[in-house]
A and B are shown apart, each in its own frame.
Chain A
Amino acid sequence: NAGVTQTPKFQVLKTGQSMTLQCAQDMNHEYMSWYRQDPGMGLRLIHYSVGAGITDQGEVPNGYNVSRSTTEDFPLRLLSAAPSQTSVYFCASRPDRGLVYGYTFGSGTRLTVV
């Protein structure tokens, strides 16, 4: 099925551990983003990419790294997990200058750092 696929759906980490959240889309979208959503809050932009090899920071980039080696994949790396990074993480993609399509979001990864 076409769309944005995020793995894993759930993850528990210990403080200081590192991990990579995976995001893949099969719609040939140029633009991809990572957001985090804390309980009862809106989404905050972590990093985004406008195409393979091009990434930039959003509102809350500290503690996260991204890379975009292919159009399809946009992994998010947590360098040294902290309890403050407990959140739901959403990956999203959109077509190039898609004026009427907006973003397609994945189903999210629920991360708990203990």
Chain B
Amino acid sequence: LAKTTQPISMDSYEGQEVNITCSHNNIATNDYITWYQQFPSQGPRFIIQGYKTKVTNEVASLFIPADRKSSTLSLPRVSLSDTAVYYCLVGDMEGNFNKFYFGSGTKLNVKP
């Protein structure tokens, strides 16, 4: 299973765009990339998932380069309520795909 590496923490200000990059050098052909958000005292919440190129939903965008060895979660115009821990997960959707492992995540602190 591919291991992921993320920055431990990031600071931003309200209204800015935030980009959180995740490294996954050993990603396998069948692996998908999934991002979760976790607020204190709550379970993680699914944000976005992708395989290659770009995926966008109402919350975020996910950019995946051609070699897929990294991915970037982009949060447009963050607010104070986006302060949370963001996890990048890599896993395949067949066979062992239920074995998604969470790392330590990136703690995003949005300041006024």
Contacts and interface: CB of A to CB of B under 8 A. Distances in A.
Which range holds the interface residue count of chain A? 20 to 34
A42 B102 contact: yes
A107 B49 CA distance: 22
A66 interface: no
A103 B45 CA distance: 8
Nearest to B42: A107
Contact of A99 (B32, B43, B44, B45): B32
Contacts of A99: 32, 49, 93
A75 interface: no
A78 interface: no
A86 to B, nearest CB: 16
Contacts of A41: 104
Given A105-B43, A107-B42, A108-B41, A100 B49 contact: yes
Given A42-B87, A58-B99, A108-B41, A102 B46 contact: yes
Contacts of A100: 49
Interface string A73-86: 00000000000000
Nearest to B57: A100
27 contacts: A4-B43, A31-B98, A35-B102, A42-B104, A43-B44, A43-B102, A44-B101, A45-B99, A45-B102, A59-B101, A90-B43, A92-B43, A97-B94, A99-B93, A100-B49, A101-B46, A102-B34, A102-B46, A103-B36, A103-B46, A103-B100, A104-B46, A105-B42, A107-B42, A108-B41, A108-B42, A108-B43
Given A48-B99, A99-B32, A103-B100, 14 more contacts: A4-B43, A42-B87, A42-B103, A43-B44, A43-B87, A44-B101, A45-B100, A58-B99, A90-B43, A90-B44, A105-B43, A105-B44, A106-B43, A108-B42
